[in-house]
A and B are shown apart, each in its own frame.
Chain A
Amino acid sequence: MQDIALNKAGTEFRRGMQAGISIGIGYIPGALTFGLLAKTTGLSIGETLLMSLVVYAGAAQYISLSLLTLGTGTFEIILTTFIVNIRHFLMSASLNEKSEEDEPIVKAAYAFGITDETFSVAAVKEGTVSARYMFGLNLIAYLSWVVFSGIGHAVGASLPQIFQESMSVALYAMFVALLVPSMKNGVKVVFLAALAAIFNTIFTITNALSTGWAIVTATLLSAVLVELIVMMKERVTKNAE
């Protein structure tokens, strides 16, 4: 009996790892780019690896680099990180619905590995999600992110000067590359991004807020306003029926 239970547990872990391989491969370019950018921002390889090990959140790590370049304060960077990653709250809440019963401490352990990608894979998986599956999935994705961040930093050292200068655009190009495909999905995304961009530009040009706070305020204003508009539109449609 015990043998069978052990086998099942091993299979779950292996299934998780197999599902993690596509994420691991998908993380390679992003992690390499992060390592390269961390290098040009002036972070040491130790600091780069530490950030990937401790934070393990692509967008937040990129953002911290651009905020560091702009001379933003530590507290603002941490707050921006929180605002950017608060969406994981929703993903964890949703995944919690289909995860198997476990001690809260076990769930708290695999919660560390929740990213947009691991969440998506686990959320569309058939049936329930076990802790062992999550640990296998997280392990591969995490290893890929950390290892390739380090490789990216190491490679960055050998890039020519003119290349390093033009790399200041890389961060922004990457944000554009994340945003544009989502914009094709609907006008709502276009409005969200455009409103936040306009608010942030106003705050920046008028010097009303420092960079970090301008981004946080513009983001929240845009997210709340667009949601209010969506809600009002739904009410109008309902009333018209």
Chain B
Amino acid sequence: MQSEIVWMIIGMGVATYIPRMLPFVLFRGKELPEFLQGVLKNVPYATLGALIFPGILFIHEDIWYGILGAAVAIFISFIGANVIVVVLGSIAVLSLYSFFI
């Protein structure tokens, strides 16, 4: 194992554990300010938006590779498919694309 990766994993573990653990140790029924609660609830969706764009456009030298991948993923998840179906479907379509282009 690379020691830098191991240290990163330990750091990620601590960073993940602290928010999980603190409220159980700190609070006895107190509440956070409403505004802060709202912001925290927003974080997952905002993160996903920032993670998808613009990163998806740069996965291949050919920008259409990412655009096609995004379109397929949006379409399959919009019709209500499970996460793994979306992932495998996008991989399958891009495999076909790189096979023919």
Given known pairs A55-B12, A231-B35, the reply for A172 and B60 (CB within 8 Å) is no
Question: Could you mark each residue 79-97 of chain B with 1 if its beta carbon is under 8 Å from any beta carbon of chain A, else 0?
Answer: 0111110110111101101
Q: Contacting A169 at CB < 8 Å: which of B49, B53, B73?
A: B73
- A87 CA to B43 CA in the complex, in Å? 7
CB of A60 closer than 8 Å to a CB of B: yes
Nearest chain A CB to B42 CB, angstrom units: 4
8 Å CB contacts to A: which residues of B36-55?
Answer: 37-55
- A51 CA to B53 CA in the complex, in Å? 25
Query: Total A-B residue pairs with C-beta atoms closer than 8 Å?
Result: 272
- A78 CA to B42 CA in the complex, in Å? 20
Question: Could you mark each residue 1-44 of chain B with 1 if its beta carbon is under 8 Å from any beta carbon of chain A, else 0?
Answer: 11011111111110111111111110101011001011111111
- A175 CA to B50 CA in the complex, in Å? 10
For A197, list chain B residues within 8 Å (CB): 49-50, 52-54
CB of A123 closer than 8 Å to a CB of B: no
8 Å CB contacts to A: which residues of B52-88?
Answer: 52-56, 59-60, 65-66, 69-70, 72-74, 76-78, 80-84, 86-87
- B contact residues, range: 35 or more
- A181 CA to B74 CA in the complex, in Å? 10
CB of A168 closer than 8 Å to a CB of B: yes
Nearest chain A CB to B66 CB, angstrom units: 7
CB of A29 closer than 8 Å to a CB of B: yes
21 interchain pairs, CB-CB under 8 A? A29-B87, A33-B87, A47-B9, A54-B9, A59-B44, A61-B12, A86-B19, A89-B40, A90-B32, A92-B24, A93-B32, A170-B90, A173-B73, A176-B52, A177-B76, A192-B46, A196-B45, A215-B47, A220-B46, A223-B40, A227-B42
Listed from nearest, the 4 A-B pairs whose CB atoms lie closest are A193-B49, A29-B84, A177-B86, A93-B23
